[in-house]
Amino acid sequence: MKHSIKYSLIKKDNKTAARRGVISTPHGEIQTPVFMPVGTAATVKAMRPEQVEDLGAEIILSNTYHLYLRPGHELIREAGGLHKFMNWNKPILTDSGGFQVFSLKGLRKITDEGVMFQSHIDGSRHELTPEKVIEIQTALGSDIMMAFDECPPYPADKSYVEQSLNTTIAWLKRCKKAHHNTEKQALFGIMQGGMHYDLRKRSAEAIVELDLPGYSIGGLSVGEPKELMLEVLDYCVDFLPADKPRYVMGVGTPDYIFEGVERGVDMFDCVLPTRVARNGQAMTSEGPLNLKNKRFERDFSPLDHKCDCYTCRNYSRAYIRHLVKSNEIFGSMLLSNHNLAFLVNMMKGIRKSIEEDRFTEFKRDFYESYYGNESGNKL
């Protein structure tokens, strides 16, 4: 089957499963491995789209649940689609809303048909079904849309995870059936199965059989220990076809990105860089810095001497600390810009290191510099 996006492998690392590739989409190419900034409500918080583009981001993620509730997908369709509505002309990936709906503890009811839930905004009642989720994402016009799935919590009984997986597999088939705009939009399937190898295998076989343009590994980084997450990830990646992009959802701290890349994952997203920015935290080549700390009061050096982003070229730690302490919006803007630049540049470094067969060395050096140790674990 011909898909609207295509993954091409450029180079494989000679020591690990890390791979350098490119995904072509109707809105341009994406160099992989890639980090996707999150624009939940059709905006990467505190950033103009031109800034996001200037710092080198090639794709952003937006959230179906939020846009469906506000302003509504019909309104966005009327506006000419999400790209036009938010003035972002590069690729967009939208999630399915499943994760948000299932996070609404107490406000929801799951049936085979879908999920009934109450809006977190005004308490109004809604139902999301696989067909509805595809209808919404079709109206948004995202380049990559995600299937409707349930992400079981950790820990969870195996019987629950199995039942949930059966529903997720049935929903994926319904999503595929409801998806008609295949020339412009690609539907990714999501692997679930919790921490159980047999369920992961079943899930992988069920999604790969559908010949989708890309696959995601879901249900990780939901509270399990890091070692377990990496073991399960190791097991999962091997099932996914080499000629399709692989995406691990909601995983975006530097250590998890490096570990994912090392195992052959191509796509990552996380709200972390912009969220911590709004709390006064900078991600730098020497590790995270909390600008609220008094030691930065008279520090007139840039956030990160290795960074050449707009923030680091023009402003000092002392100035940004002052903005953060005064609750000035500009502080969030400058920190968001830098943190996104930091992750985008980290991905550039990762891609170059794979091209030059020195990914392992690059990872070790990054960990030593960022975490102060070789393991990438916070001390």
Please list the active-site residues: 95, 269
Q: How far is the CB of 289 from Zn ion (least distance, A)?
A: 11
Alpha carbons within 13 A on the beta-carbon side of 203: 34
Q: How far is the CB of 284 from Zn ion (least distance, A)?
A: 8
Tell me whether residue 25 or residue 336 sits nearer to Zn ion (CB atom): 336
Tell me whether residue 167 or residue 339 sits nearer to Zn ion (CB atom): 339
Cβ distance 144 to 135 under 8 Å? no
Query: Segment near Zn ion (CB under 5 A), from 57-65, 163-171, 216-224, 301-309?
Result: 301-309
Tell me whether residue 259 or residue 304 sits nearer to Zn ion (CB atom): 304
Contact call for residue 145 and Zn ion (CB under 5 A): no
Q: Which DSSP letter does residue 88 get? A: -
Which of 234, 285, 289, 296 has the alpha carbon at shortest distance from 259? 234
Q: How far is the CB of 89 from Zn ion (least distance, A)?
A: 24
Contact call for residue 340 and Zn ion (CB under 5 A): no
The count of residues interacting with Zn ion (CB under 5 A) is: 5
Query: Segment near Zn ion (CB under 5 A), from 194-202, 210-218, 291-299, 303-311?
Result: 303-311
The two structure tokens encoding residue 174: 């319904």
Q: How far apart are CA 361 and CA 375, in angstroms?
A: 13
Query: Segment near Zn ion (CB under 5 A), from 3-11, 24-32, 61-69, 300-308?
Result: 300-308
Q: How far apart are CA 133 and CA 139, in angstroms?
A: 10
The two structure tokens encoding residue 309: 């982003």
Contacts with Zn ion in 171-190 (CB under 5 A)?
none
| Alpha helices (H) along 145-196 | 158-178
Tell me whether residue 138 or residue 345 sits nearer to Zn ion (CB atom): 345
Contacts with Zn ion in 10-29 (CB under 5 A)?
none
Q: How far is the CB of 334 from Zn ion (least distance, A)?
A: 9
Tell me whether residue 60 or residue 340 sits nearer to Zn ion (CB atom): 340
Q: How far is the CB of 340 from Zn ion (least distance, A)?
A: 9
Cβ distance 186 to 5 under 8 Å? yes
Among 83, 90, 176, 338, binds Zn ion (CB under 5 A): 338
Contacts with Zn ion in 305-334 (CB under 5 A)?
307, 309, 311-312
Q: How far is the CB of 288 from Zn ion (least distance, A)?
A: 13
Judged by the rule CB under 5 A, the positions of this chain that interact with Zn ion are 307, 309, 311-312, 338
